Structure 1
Protein backbone atom coordinates (compact mmCIF):
# COMPACT_ATOMS: atom_id res chain seq x y z
CA UNK A 1 0.00 0.00 0.00
CA UNK A 2 1.35 3.42 -0.91
CA UNK A 3 1.64 5.81 2.02
CA UNK A 4 0.10 9.25 1.55
CA UNK A 5 2.80 10.95 3.60
CA UNK A 6 6.38 9.69 3.72
CA UNK A 7 7.56 9.68 7.37
CA UNK A 8 10.63 7.44 7.04
CA UNK A 9 13.26 6.34 4.52
CA UNK A 10 11.31 3.14 3.83
CA UNK A 11 8.16 5.12 3.13
CA UNK A 12 10.09 7.28 0.66
CA UNK A 13 11.28 4.21 -1.28
CA UNK A 14 7.76 2.73 -1.24
CA UNK A 15 6.24 6.00 -2.47
CA UNK A 16 8.78 6.25 -5.31
CA UNK A 17 7.97 2.72 -6.47
CA UNK A 18 4.24 3.46 -6.49
CA UNK A 19 4.81 6.58 -8.62
CA UNK A 20 6.74 4.52 -11.17
CA UNK A 21 3.94 1.94 -11.30
CA UNK A 22 1.32 4.67 -11.86
CA UNK A 23 3.37 6.16 -14.70
CA UNK A 24 3.74 2.77 -16.37
CA UNK A 25 0.02 2.13 -16.09
CA UNK A 26 -0.80 5.49 -17.74
CA UNK A 27 1.66 4.73 -20.53
CA UNK A 28 0.03 1.34 -21.18
CA UNK A 29 -3.44 2.89 -21.27
CA UNK A 30 -2.28 5.52 -23.79
CA UNK A 31 -0.85 2.80 -26.04
CA UNK A 32 -4.12 0.85 -26.03
CA UNK A 33 -6.30 3.89 -26.78
CA UNK A 34 -8.30 3.61 -30.00
CA UNK A 35 -6.38 5.24 -32.89
CA UNK A 36 -9.54 6.87 -34.19
CA UNK A 37 -9.88 9.11 -31.17
CA UNK A 38 -6.40 9.20 -29.66
CA UNK A 39 -5.50 10.30 -26.14
CA UNK A 40 -6.91 13.52 -24.82
CA UNK A 41 -4.81 16.51 -25.73
CA UNK A 42 -4.29 19.44 -23.35
CA UNK A 43 -7.05 22.00 -23.72
CA UNK A 44 -9.37 19.66 -25.68
CA UNK A 45 -12.84 18.84 -24.43
CA UNK A 46 -12.81 15.23 -25.58
CA UNK A 47 -9.93 13.27 -27.07
CA UNK A 48 -8.39 15.65 -29.62
CA UNK A 49 -6.68 14.83 -32.89
CA UNK A 50 -4.01 12.19 -33.08
CA UNK A 51 -0.47 12.81 -34.25
CA UNK A 52 -0.43 13.27 -38.01
CA UNK A 53 -4.14 14.11 -38.15
CA UNK A 54 -5.01 16.14 -41.27
CA UNK A 55 -8.15 18.36 -41.12
CA UNK A 56 -10.81 17.31 -43.60
CA UNK A 57 -12.42 19.60 -46.16
CA UNK A 58 -15.49 19.89 -43.92
CA UNK A 59 -13.27 21.10 -41.09
CA UNK A 60 -11.40 23.60 -43.27
CA UNK A 61 -14.56 25.15 -44.77
CA UNK A 62 -15.88 26.74 -41.53
CA UNK A 63 -12.40 28.09 -40.86
CA UNK A 64 -12.33 29.63 -44.34
CA UNK A 65 -15.78 31.16 -43.84
CA UNK A 66 -14.69 32.64 -40.51
CA UNK A 67 -11.59 34.12 -42.13
CA UNK A 68 -13.66 35.65 -44.93
CA UNK A 69 -16.17 37.01 -42.43
CA UNK A 70 -13.40 38.70 -40.47
CA UNK A 71 -12.22 40.69 -43.51
CA UNK A 72 -15.26 42.52 -44.99
CA UNK A 73 -13.06 45.36 -46.21
CA UNK A 74 -10.83 42.89 -48.03
CA UNK A 75 -13.87 41.41 -49.75
CA UNK A 76 -15.03 44.89 -50.78
CA UNK A 77 -11.63 45.78 -52.21
CA UNK A 78 -11.37 42.48 -54.10
CA UNK A 79 -14.88 42.87 -55.54
CA UNK A 80 -14.15 46.38 -56.81
CA UNK A 81 -10.89 45.33 -58.45
CA UNK A 82 -12.69 42.38 -60.02
CA UNK A 83 -15.26 44.73 -61.58
CA UNK A 84 -12.48 46.97 -62.92
CA UNK A 85 -10.76 44.02 -64.58
CA UNK A 86 -13.90 42.34 -65.92
CA UNK A 87 -15.90 45.35 -67.16
CA UNK A 88 -14.05 45.91 -70.49
CA UNK A 89 -14.80 42.34 -71.55
CA UNK A 90 -18.46 42.57 -70.56
CA UNK A 91 -19.70 45.97 -71.75
CA UNK A 92 -19.95 45.14 -75.47
CA UNK A 93 -23.19 43.14 -75.33
CA UNK A 94 -26.50 42.99 -73.53
CA UNK A 95 -25.43 39.85 -71.71
CA UNK A 96 -22.14 41.50 -70.80
CA UNK A 97 -23.89 44.55 -69.40
CA UNK A 98 -26.19 42.29 -67.41
CA UNK A 99 -23.23 40.42 -65.97
CA UNK A 100 -21.54 43.73 -65.20
CA UNK A 101 -24.71 44.78 -63.40
CA UNK A 102 -24.56 41.64 -61.30
CA UNK A 103 -20.92 42.36 -60.49
CA UNK A 104 -21.87 45.86 -59.47
CA UNK A 105 -24.68 44.43 -57.37
CA UNK A 106 -22.17 42.23 -55.57
CA UNK A 107 -20.01 45.27 -54.92
CA UNK A 108 -22.98 47.06 -53.40
CA UNK A 109 -23.92 44.12 -51.21
CA UNK A 110 -20.32 43.80 -50.05
CA UNK A 111 -20.25 47.49 -49.27
CA UNK A 112 -23.42 47.16 -47.19
CA UNK A 113 -21.83 44.27 -45.28
CA UNK A 114 -18.74 46.37 -44.62
CA UNK A 115 -20.84 49.27 -43.36
CA UNK A 116 -22.81 47.02 -41.03
CA UNK A 117 -19.59 45.93 -39.34
CA UNK A 118 -18.63 49.51 -38.51
CA UNK A 119 -20.15 51.89 -35.94
CA UNK A 120 -21.93 53.73 -38.77
CA UNK A 121 -25.72 53.80 -38.80
CA UNK A 122 -27.29 50.79 -40.49
CA UNK A 123 -30.46 52.56 -41.55
CA UNK A 124 -28.50 55.04 -43.66
CA UNK A 125 -26.91 52.21 -45.64
CA UNK A 126 -30.32 50.62 -46.18
CA UNK A 127 -31.94 53.92 -47.18
CA UNK A 128 -29.34 54.53 -49.85
CA UNK A 129 -28.26 50.98 -50.66
CA UNK A 130 -31.58 49.32 -51.46
CA UNK A 131 -32.59 51.84 -54.18
CA UNK A 132 -29.03 51.73 -55.52
CA UNK A 133 -29.28 47.95 -55.90
CA UNK A 134 -32.51 48.27 -57.90
CA UNK A 135 -31.12 51.07 -60.07
CA UNK A 136 -27.96 49.06 -60.74
CA UNK A 137 -30.04 46.44 -62.53
CA UNK A 138 -32.13 49.11 -64.30
CA UNK A 139 -29.03 50.93 -65.55
CA UNK A 140 -27.54 47.68 -66.84
CA UNK A 141 -30.71 47.14 -68.91
CA UNK A 142 -31.27 50.76 -70.07
CA UNK A 143 -27.87 52.52 -70.03
CA UNK A 144 -28.95 55.02 -72.69
CA UNK A 145 -31.90 56.43 -70.70
CA UNK A 146 -30.87 59.71 -69.06
CA UNK A 147 -33.51 59.47 -66.34
CA UNK A 148 -32.29 56.05 -65.23
CA UNK A 149 -28.64 57.15 -65.31
CA UNK A 150 -29.40 60.30 -63.30
CA UNK A 151 -31.50 58.45 -60.72
CA UNK A 152 -28.79 55.83 -60.37
CA UNK A 153 -26.15 58.50 -59.80
CA UNK A 154 -28.35 60.29 -57.24
CA UNK A 155 -28.40 57.19 -55.03
CA UNK A 156 -25.04 55.65 -55.87
CA UNK A 157 -22.86 58.71 -55.22
CA UNK A 158 -24.03 59.42 -51.64
CA UNK A 159 -24.10 55.70 -50.88
CA UNK A 160 -20.45 55.27 -51.87
CA UNK A 161 -19.43 58.40 -49.99
CA UNK A 162 -21.23 57.08 -46.92
CA UNK A 163 -19.40 53.76 -47.23
CA UNK A 164 -16.08 55.62 -47.47
CA UNK A 165 -16.98 57.59 -44.33
CA UNK A 166 -17.82 54.37 -42.51
CA UNK A 167 -14.54 52.75 -43.57
CA UNK A 168 -12.50 55.77 -42.46
CA UNK A 169 -14.32 55.75 -39.15
CA UNK A 170 -13.53 52.05 -38.88
CA UNK A 171 -9.84 52.85 -39.39
CA UNK A 172 -9.82 55.34 -36.52
CA UNK A 173 -11.90 53.43 -33.97
CA UNK A 174 -8.88 52.19 -31.94
CA UNK A 175 -5.09 52.28 -31.73
CA UNK A 176 -4.53 48.83 -33.23
CA UNK A 177 -4.00 48.06 -36.90
CA UNK A 178 -5.61 44.80 -38.01
CA UNK A 179 -5.25 43.15 -41.44
CA UNK A 180 -8.81 44.13 -42.31
CA UNK A 181 -8.06 47.77 -41.49
CA UNK A 182 -5.18 47.65 -43.97
CA UNK A 183 -7.63 46.41 -46.59
CA UNK A 184 -9.98 49.21 -45.55
CA UNK A 185 -7.40 51.85 -46.51
CA UNK A 186 -7.46 50.63 -50.10
CA UNK A 187 -11.19 49.97 -50.12
CA UNK A 188 -12.03 53.48 -48.89
CA UNK A 189 -9.82 54.99 -51.60
CA UNK A 190 -11.51 53.06 -54.40
CA UNK A 191 -14.97 53.70 -52.94
CA UNK A 192 -14.39 57.45 -53.14
CA UNK A 193 -13.30 57.05 -56.78
CA UNK A 194 -16.53 55.14 -57.47
CA UNK A 195 -18.59 57.90 -55.88
CA UNK A 196 -17.02 60.63 -58.01
CA UNK A 197 -17.53 58.54 -61.15
CA UNK A 198 -21.27 58.62 -60.47
CA UNK A 199 -21.08 62.38 -59.88
CA UNK A 200 -19.50 62.72 -63.31
CA UNK A 201 -22.28 60.58 -64.77
CA UNK A 202 -24.87 62.92 -63.27
CA UNK A 203 -22.94 65.96 -64.52
CA UNK A 204 -22.96 64.87 -68.15
CA UNK A 205 -26.71 64.22 -67.95
CA UNK A 206 -27.39 67.65 -66.44
CA UNK A 207 -24.85 69.48 -68.62
CA UNK A 208 -24.43 67.66 -71.94
CA UNK A 209 -20.95 67.97 -73.38
CA UNK A 210 -19.37 68.46 -69.94
CA UNK A 211 -16.63 65.95 -70.81
CA UNK A 212 -14.70 65.21 -73.98
CA UNK A 213 -12.50 62.25 -74.74
CA UNK A 214 -10.56 60.57 -77.51
CA UNK A 215 -13.70 58.67 -78.53
CA UNK A 216 -15.91 61.78 -78.29
CA UNK A 217 -13.74 64.83 -79.07
CA UNK A 218 -16.70 67.21 -79.36
CA UNK A 219 -18.65 65.89 -76.38
CA UNK A 220 -21.70 65.26 -78.54
CA UNK A 221 -21.93 61.63 -77.44
CA UNK A 222 -22.08 60.96 -73.70
CA UNK A 223 -19.16 59.06 -72.25
CA UNK A 224 -19.84 55.59 -70.92
CA UNK A 225 -19.52 54.83 -67.25
CA UNK A 226 -16.16 53.05 -67.49
CA UNK A 227 -14.56 56.11 -69.12
CA UNK A 228 -15.86 58.23 -66.25
CA UNK A 229 -14.50 55.71 -63.74
CA UNK A 230 -11.13 55.89 -65.49
CA UNK A 231 -11.20 59.69 -65.19
CA UNK A 232 -12.08 59.38 -61.52
CA UNK A 233 -9.18 57.04 -60.72
CA UNK A 234 -6.63 59.16 -62.60
CA UNK A 235 -7.91 62.28 -60.85
CA UNK A 236 -7.96 60.64 -57.42
CA UNK A 237 -4.37 59.44 -57.78
CA UNK A 238 -3.27 62.76 -59.38
CA UNK A 239 -1.33 60.98 -62.14
CA UNK A 240 -3.08 62.86 -64.96
CA UNK A 241 -2.87 59.91 -67.37
CA UNK A 242 -6.32 60.32 -68.87
CA UNK A 243 -7.76 61.02 -72.31
CA UNK A 244 -10.98 62.30 -70.71
CA UNK A 245 -11.14 66.02 -69.94
CA UNK A 246 -13.72 68.27 -68.29
CA UNK A 247 -14.55 71.24 -70.52
CA UNK A 248 -17.50 72.87 -68.72
CA UNK A 249 -17.27 74.74 -65.45
CA UNK A 250 -19.39 72.36 -63.36
CA UNK A 251 -17.39 69.34 -64.50
CA UNK A 252 -14.10 71.08 -63.74
CA UNK A 253 -15.34 71.96 -60.26
CA UNK A 254 -16.06 68.31 -59.53
CA UNK A 255 -12.62 67.29 -60.80
CA UNK A 256 -10.92 69.87 -58.57
CA UNK A 257 -12.84 68.65 -55.53
CA UNK A 258 -11.76 65.08 -56.23
CA UNK A 259 -8.14 66.16 -56.58
CA UNK A 260 -8.30 67.77 -53.15
CA UNK A 261 -10.00 64.68 -51.72
CA UNK A 262 -7.30 62.39 -53.11
CA UNK A 263 -4.44 64.44 -51.65
CA UNK A 264 -6.26 64.86 -48.34
CA UNK A 265 -6.92 61.12 -48.06
CA UNK A 266 -3.26 60.21 -48.57
CA UNK A 267 -2.24 62.82 -45.97
CA UNK A 268 -4.86 61.49 -43.57
CA UNK A 269 -3.68 57.88 -43.83
CA UNK A 270 0.01 58.83 -43.54
CA UNK A 271 -0.71 60.97 -40.46
CA UNK A 272 -2.61 58.07 -38.92
CA UNK A 273 0.25 55.62 -39.46
CA UNK A 274 2.86 58.08 -38.17
CA UNK A 275 0.75 58.73 -35.07
CA UNK A 276 0.45 55.02 -34.33
CA UNK A 277 4.21 54.56 -34.74
CA UNK A 278 4.89 57.43 -32.33
CA UNK A 279 2.55 55.94 -29.71
CA UNK A 280 4.25 52.55 -29.92
CA UNK A 281 7.65 54.15 -29.33
CA UNK A 282 6.33 55.96 -26.26
Structure 2
Protein backbone atom coordinates (compact mmCIF):
# COMPACT_ATOMS: atom_id res chain seq x y z
CA UNK A 1 0.00 0.00 0.00
CA UNK A 2 2.84 2.38 0.86
CA UNK A 3 4.61 1.60 -2.40
CA UNK A 4 1.39 2.17 -4.34
CA UNK A 5 0.85 5.47 -2.53
CA UNK A 6 4.32 6.57 -3.42
CA UNK A 7 3.87 5.59 -7.07
CA UNK A 8 0.56 7.40 -7.18
CA UNK A 9 2.15 10.45 -5.58
CA UNK A 10 4.96 10.49 -8.15
CA UNK A 11 2.47 10.05 -10.99
CA UNK A 12 0.44 13.04 -9.81
CA UNK A 13 3.60 15.10 -9.38
CA UNK A 14 4.79 14.15 -12.86
CA UNK A 15 1.47 15.18 -14.37
CA UNK A 16 1.44 18.54 -12.59
CA UNK A 17 5.11 19.44 -12.91
CA UNK A 18 6.70 17.53 -15.81
CA UNK A 19 9.28 20.26 -16.36
CA UNK A 20 10.73 19.50 -12.92
CA UNK A 21 11.49 15.94 -14.01
CA UNK A 22 13.17 17.15 -17.19
CA UNK A 23 15.28 19.67 -15.26
CA UNK A 24 16.24 17.00 -12.71
CA UNK A 25 17.22 14.56 -15.47
CA UNK A 26 19.34 17.22 -17.17
CA UNK A 27 21.13 18.12 -13.94
CA UNK A 28 21.65 14.47 -13.03
CA UNK A 29 23.12 13.78 -16.45
CA UNK A 30 25.44 16.76 -15.91
CA UNK A 31 26.76 15.05 -12.78
CA UNK A 32 27.30 11.84 -14.74
CA UNK A 33 29.13 13.43 -17.68
CA UNK A 34 32.56 13.40 -15.96
CA UNK A 35 32.30 9.59 -16.04
CA UNK A 36 31.79 9.64 -19.82
CA UNK A 37 35.37 9.51 -20.96
CA UNK A 38 36.62 7.82 -24.11
CA UNK A 39 36.20 4.31 -22.73
CA UNK A 40 33.49 1.97 -23.98
CA UNK A 41 31.71 2.17 -20.60
CA UNK A 42 31.65 5.96 -20.78
CA UNK A 43 30.23 5.93 -24.30
CA UNK A 44 27.51 3.45 -23.28
CA UNK A 45 26.62 5.71 -20.35
CA UNK A 46 26.39 8.63 -22.78
CA UNK A 47 23.88 6.68 -24.85
CA UNK A 48 21.91 5.75 -21.73
CA UNK A 49 21.57 9.42 -20.79
CA UNK A 50 20.13 10.16 -24.23
CA UNK A 51 17.61 7.34 -23.78
CA UNK A 52 16.28 9.08 -20.66
CA UNK A 53 16.56 12.78 -21.46
CA UNK A 54 15.26 12.74 -25.05
CA UNK A 55 11.91 11.05 -24.24
CA UNK A 56 11.51 13.37 -21.24
CA UNK A 57 12.04 16.38 -23.49
CA UNK A 58 9.39 15.08 -25.88
CA UNK A 59 7.01 14.42 -22.99
CA UNK A 60 7.26 18.04 -21.89
CA UNK A 61 6.91 19.36 -25.45
CA UNK A 62 3.71 17.31 -25.82
CA UNK A 63 2.17 19.49 -23.10
CA UNK A 64 3.13 22.69 -24.92
CA UNK A 65 1.46 24.32 -27.94
CA UNK A 66 4.20 22.90 -30.22
CA UNK A 67 3.56 19.97 -32.57
CA UNK A 68 5.13 16.96 -30.86
CA UNK A 69 5.12 14.89 -34.06
CA UNK A 70 7.94 17.04 -35.44
CA UNK A 71 9.95 16.43 -32.29
CA UNK A 72 9.50 12.67 -32.58
CA UNK A 73 10.76 12.77 -36.17
CA UNK A 74 13.93 14.27 -34.71
CA UNK A 75 14.06 12.23 -31.50
CA UNK A 76 13.72 8.69 -32.86
CA UNK A 77 16.54 8.87 -35.47
CA UNK A 78 18.73 10.75 -32.98
CA UNK A 79 18.28 8.03 -30.36
CA UNK A 80 18.87 5.21 -32.83
CA UNK A 81 21.99 6.81 -34.27
CA UNK A 82 23.39 7.69 -30.83
CA UNK A 83 22.88 4.23 -29.34
CA UNK A 84 24.06 2.43 -32.47
CA UNK A 85 27.08 4.68 -32.86
CA UNK A 86 28.03 4.31 -29.19
CA UNK A 87 27.41 0.60 -28.69
CA UNK A 88 28.77 -0.50 -32.09
CA UNK A 89 31.57 2.09 -31.94
CA UNK A 90 30.63 3.71 -35.26
CA UNK A 91 32.05 7.15 -34.57
CA UNK A 92 31.05 8.43 -38.01
CA UNK A 93 27.38 8.28 -36.97
CA UNK A 94 27.83 10.52 -33.94
CA UNK A 95 28.04 13.86 -35.85
CA UNK A 96 24.76 13.08 -37.61
CA UNK A 97 23.21 12.11 -34.27
CA UNK A 98 24.56 15.38 -32.81
CA UNK A 99 22.90 17.38 -35.59
CA UNK A 100 19.54 15.73 -34.90
CA UNK A 101 19.90 16.12 -31.13
CA UNK A 102 20.83 19.79 -31.47
CA UNK A 103 17.71 20.35 -33.59
CA UNK A 104 15.64 18.36 -31.08
CA UNK A 105 16.86 20.31 -28.06
CA UNK A 106 16.27 23.64 -29.80
CA UNK A 107 12.79 22.46 -30.78
CA UNK A 108 12.06 21.34 -27.21
CA UNK A 109 13.35 24.67 -25.88
CA UNK A 110 11.04 26.51 -28.29
CA UNK A 111 8.16 24.35 -27.06
CA UNK A 112 8.86 25.22 -23.45
CA UNK A 113 9.15 28.92 -24.27
CA UNK A 114 5.77 28.76 -26.03
CA UNK A 115 4.40 26.95 -22.96
CA UNK A 116 5.67 29.68 -20.63
CA UNK A 117 4.44 32.52 -22.84
CA UNK A 118 0.92 31.27 -23.57
CA UNK A 119 -0.80 32.89 -20.57
CA UNK A 120 -0.26 35.56 -17.95
CA UNK A 121 -0.33 33.34 -14.88
CA UNK A 122 2.88 31.68 -13.69
CA UNK A 123 2.59 28.14 -12.35
CA UNK A 124 5.23 26.22 -10.41
CA UNK A 125 5.85 24.04 -13.45
CA UNK A 126 6.59 27.11 -15.57
CA UNK A 127 9.29 28.11 -13.11
CA UNK A 128 10.85 24.66 -13.48
CA UNK A 129 10.41 25.04 -17.24
CA UNK A 130 12.54 28.20 -17.14
CA UNK A 131 15.45 26.19 -15.74
CA UNK A 132 14.81 23.25 -18.07
CA UNK A 133 14.77 25.55 -21.11
CA UNK A 134 18.15 26.98 -20.14
CA UNK A 135 19.65 23.48 -19.96
CA UNK A 136 18.04 22.49 -23.26
CA UNK A 137 19.58 25.51 -24.97
CA UNK A 138 22.97 24.74 -23.42
CA UNK A 139 22.83 21.12 -24.57
CA UNK A 140 21.60 22.13 -28.02
CA UNK A 141 24.52 24.47 -28.61
CA UNK A 142 26.96 21.91 -27.19
CA UNK A 143 25.75 19.42 -29.80
CA UNK A 144 26.11 22.16 -32.44
CA UNK A 145 29.71 22.70 -31.27
CA UNK A 146 30.32 18.95 -31.48
CA UNK A 147 29.02 18.90 -35.05
CA UNK A 148 31.09 21.96 -35.96
CA UNK A 149 34.22 20.30 -34.61
CA UNK A 150 33.47 17.15 -36.63
CA UNK A 151 33.02 19.11 -39.86
CA UNK A 152 35.83 21.60 -39.22
CA UNK A 153 38.54 19.88 -37.15
CA UNK A 154 40.36 22.29 -34.86
CA UNK A 155 37.36 24.61 -34.50
CA UNK A 156 38.00 24.96 -30.76
CA UNK A 157 41.19 25.21 -28.75
CA UNK A 158 42.18 25.17 -25.10
CA UNK A 159 44.53 23.21 -22.88
CA UNK A 160 46.40 20.65 -24.98
CA UNK A 161 45.52 22.46 -28.23
CA UNK A 162 46.73 19.59 -30.40
CA UNK A 163 43.67 17.42 -29.58
CA UNK A 164 39.96 17.82 -30.23
CA UNK A 165 37.77 19.14 -27.42
CA UNK A 166 35.90 16.54 -25.39
CA UNK A 167 32.12 16.58 -24.97
CA UNK A 168 32.47 17.91 -21.42
CA UNK A 169 34.66 20.78 -22.62
CA UNK A 170 32.14 21.73 -25.31
CA UNK A 171 29.29 21.59 -22.81
CA UNK A 172 31.31 23.76 -20.43
CA UNK A 173 31.88 26.27 -23.25
CA UNK A 174 28.14 26.25 -23.96
CA UNK A 175 27.17 26.96 -20.34
CA UNK A 176 29.73 29.74 -19.93
CA UNK A 177 28.62 31.34 -23.19
CA UNK A 178 24.88 31.06 -22.58
CA UNK A 179 25.17 32.40 -19.03
CA UNK A 180 27.53 35.20 -20.17
CA UNK A 181 29.97 34.41 -17.36
CA UNK A 182 32.95 34.21 -19.71
CA UNK A 183 34.83 31.79 -17.46
CA UNK A 184 35.72 29.30 -20.19
CA UNK A 185 39.14 27.98 -21.13
CA UNK A 186 37.83 26.69 -24.49
CA UNK A 187 37.89 29.16 -27.37
CA UNK A 188 36.50 29.14 -30.91
CA UNK A 189 39.26 29.69 -33.45
CA UNK A 190 37.57 29.64 -36.86
CA UNK A 191 34.63 31.49 -38.39
CA UNK A 192 31.94 28.74 -38.12
CA UNK A 193 32.74 28.14 -34.46
CA UNK A 194 32.76 31.85 -33.67
CA UNK A 195 29.41 32.34 -35.40
CA UNK A 196 27.88 29.57 -33.27
CA UNK A 197 29.29 31.15 -30.12
CA UNK A 198 27.90 34.56 -31.09
CA UNK A 199 24.48 33.03 -31.78
CA UNK A 200 24.52 31.42 -28.33
CA UNK A 201 25.48 34.73 -26.72
CA UNK A 202 22.53 36.36 -28.46
CA UNK A 203 20.22 33.51 -27.37
CA UNK A 204 21.36 33.78 -23.75
CA UNK A 205 20.82 37.53 -23.56
CA UNK A 206 17.47 37.29 -25.34
CA UNK A 207 16.24 34.46 -23.11
CA UNK A 208 17.04 36.34 -19.91
CA UNK A 209 15.69 39.64 -21.22
CA UNK A 210 12.36 38.27 -22.48
CA UNK A 211 11.30 34.96 -20.94
CA UNK A 212 12.92 35.05 -17.50
CA UNK A 213 12.21 38.73 -16.86
CA UNK A 214 8.58 38.18 -17.92
CA UNK A 215 8.16 35.27 -15.51
CA UNK A 216 9.67 37.29 -12.67
CA UNK A 217 7.41 40.27 -13.40
CA UNK A 218 4.26 38.11 -13.60
CA UNK A 219 5.19 36.32 -10.37
CA UNK A 220 5.56 39.65 -8.54
CA UNK A 221 2.20 40.82 -9.90
CA UNK A 222 0.55 37.57 -8.81
CA UNK A 223 1.88 37.93 -5.27
CA UNK A 224 0.64 41.52 -5.10
CA UNK A 225 -2.83 40.49 -6.27
CA UNK A 226 -3.12 37.49 -3.96
CA UNK A 227 -5.37 38.08 -0.96
CA UNK A 228 -3.47 38.58 2.33
**Normalising to structure 1: TM-score of the pair?**
0.74
CA distance in 1 between counterparts of 2:93 and 2:37 reads 17
Aligned to 1:274: 217
- Aligned with residue 29 of structure 2, among 77, 83, 86: 83
Is the contact between residue 197 and residue 228 of structure 1 (CA under 8 Å) also seen in structure 2? yes
Of the three residues 177, 181, 186, the one matched with 1:244 is 186
Q: Which has the higher contact order (CA 8 A, sep 6+)?
A: 2
Residue of structure 2 equivalent to 1:96: 42
Which secondary structure does the structure 2 equivalent of 1:114 belong to?
helix
Counterpart mapping for 1:82-161 below 5 A: 82-141=28-87, 145=91, 147-161=92-106
CA distance in 1, matches of 2:134, 2:89: 26
Greater helix percent: which structure?
Answer: 2
Q: CA deviation at 1:228?
A: 0.7
> For 2:187, what is the secondary structure of its paired residue?
strand
The verdict on how the C-alpha distance between 1:60 and 1:79 changes in structure 2, with shifts beyond 3 A counting, is closer
From 119, 122, 133, the counterpart of 1:188: 133
> For the Cα contact (< 8 Å) 1:91–1:100, is it kept in 2?
no
Q: Relative to structure 1, is the Cα distance of residues 140 and 226 closer, same or farther in structure 2, using a 3 angstrom cutoff?
A: farther
RMSD of aligned C-alpha atoms?
2.0
Question: Structure 2: how far apart are the matches of 1:142 and 1:244?
Answer: 30
Deviation at 1:192, TM superposition (A): 0.5
The structure with the larger Rg is: 1
Q: Secondary structure at the match of 1:171?
A: helix
Aligned pairs for 1:1-282 (under 5 A) are: 56-141=2-87, 145=91, 147-215=92-160, 217-218=161-162, 221-268=163-210, 269-275=212-218, 277-278=220-221
Distance 1:56 1:154 in 2: 44
| Unaligned 5+ runs, structure 1 | 1-54
How far has the Cα of 1:270 moved from its partner?
0.6
Matched length = 224
